[in-house]
Amino acid sequence: MSFAHILPPHYKREVLQWLEDDCPSFDVGGFVVGEKEETALLYCKTDGAVLAGVPFADAIFDHLGVAVTWFFKEGEVIHLPINPDTGKRVSKVVIAEARGKCRHLLLAERTVLNTMSRASGVAGAARKACEIKERANWHGYVAGTRKTTPGFRTVEKYALIVGGAATHRLDLSQMVMLKDNHIWSCGSITKAVQTARQGAGFSMKIEVECQSLDDGLEAAAAGADVVMLDNFTSETIHDVAAAIKREYPHVLIEASGATSRY
């Protein structure tokens, strides 16, 4: 299995936009170093980091004619080894070697590092959350949100998958989420769900953000597929979720907000 196979074809166009953003005009630094063949090493400095973002780095290197060899696989947890002489962990480990023209290596450097740092950070956070779920023997999903960095959605949603989490909806066109503003403007949960169903048809799920048990029951009765219990405490959410599932066992319950970090 290759995580890269899930990416849309346009991700390589996004990579070119990042490079253009980083070098919109003259590259004086590249002029200084020229095109002598050089070798660059990519390091990981965090023990337990999850390697993510390799397809994007590969696209950057490929566009610039740089050959790269990876020493870890996408999604692999990287552990810094113990130095036998000191008994302490080493400060960094080589994860890849890139070889090409010096100016091209330097053109790729910051864009590659920024992309992989962000992707690996998201994947690592997702992995930790999923590990907590597994230790608790909970059989639900850990999912991300649509609160992505503008222009970087593909990277961040992809990194969730690498880290073992669910992406939730990718954008406004994938699943309908009716939040408090939709409901206030429409007048009621029932009317909002009924109107949404007209536009969504039978093939798209509808999710409703709910603030109480009554909200959840109304949403389920109106035909919502997913009831989001928003900002409930750990002490109250179980009873509310159970009450909704007793009446509407087919409805999926989602908990959002008021969640501490690990």
> Out of 133, 147, 179, 245, which one is annotated catalytic?
147
d(CA 186, CA 204): 20
Q: Chain centroid to CA 221: how far?
A: 32
Distances (CA, A) of 141 to 83, 105, 161: 38, 40, 12
Q: Check: CB of residue 218 under 8 Å from CB of residue 190.
A: yes
Reduced 3-state DSSP string for 50-101: ECCCHHHHHHHHHHCCCEEEECCCCCCEECCCECCCCCCECCCEEEEEEEEE
Q: Check: CB of residue 233 under 8 Å from CB of residue 213.
A: no
Give the residue carrying structure tokens 């023990």. Answer: 47
d(CA 59, CA 11): 9
Label residues 76-99 b or e (16+ Cβ within 10 Å = b): bebebeeeeeeeeeeeebebbebe
d(CA 68, CA 97): 6
- Check if 12 is active-site: no
d(CA 104, CA 98): 10
57 is written with which tokens? 């780095």
| Residues involved in catalysis | 147
